[in-house]
């Protein structure tokens, strides 16, 4: 069995929560597992890869010993989703500073545009196995 790819996300962000649900629905092979950045497991993994445990403005993809953040993480995730979503990986040819510029606009405004939770929501029983404890 191949090791799973771990997605760390902002568990307080409505947009991020919707994104996780979208990924789950387009990942029938269950390639990805998830953990909120704010969780103890999320912080432990961030520390392992030398990332901040205080700033939660980036999606993080852990793929074995590789760590991707921001737009690079999003594009590497798209590469593994079913259907037409794989084509978005083609944007990887755009230089990272340009991709991340647009990523940061969304990241900085995500609470204002999409709202924020007071606490991380627990996943439903049928997808709980996809989340690190």
- Over the chain (133 residues), the average pLDDT of each successive run of 10 is 83 83 92 92 93 86 95 96 92 96 90 72 68 79
Q: What is the pLDDT of residue 92?
A: 96
What is the C-alpha separation between 4 and 30, in angstroms, rounded?
Answer: 8
Check: pTM over 0.85? Answer yes or no.
yes
Q: What is the pLDDT of residue 31?
A: 93
Please, are residues 85 and 27 in contact by the beta-carbon 8 Å criterion? no
| Domain assignments of the chain as residue spans, ordered by start | 5-130
Q: What is the pLDDT of residue 122?
A: 58
How far is residue 71 from each of residues 39, 118, 119, 120, measured CA to CA in Å? Answer: 22, 26, 25, 23
């Amino acid at each position: 069995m191949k090791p799973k790819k771990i997605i760390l996300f902002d568990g307080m962000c409505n947009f991020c929560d919707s994104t996780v649900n979208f990924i789950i629905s387009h990942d029938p092979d269950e390639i990805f597992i998830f953990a909120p950045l704010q969780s103890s497991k999320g912080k432990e993994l961030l520390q392992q890869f030398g990332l901040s445990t205080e700033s939660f403005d980036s999606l993080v993809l852990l793929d074995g010993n590789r760590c991707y953040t921001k737009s690079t993480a999003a594009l590497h995730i798209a590469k593994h989703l079913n259907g037409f979503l794989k084509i978005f990986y083609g944007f990887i040819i755009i230089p990272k500073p340009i991709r991340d510029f647009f990523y940061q606009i969304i990241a900085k405004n995500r609470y204002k545009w999409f709202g924020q939770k007071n606490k991380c929501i627990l996943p439903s029983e049928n997808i709980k196995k996809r989340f690190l404890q």
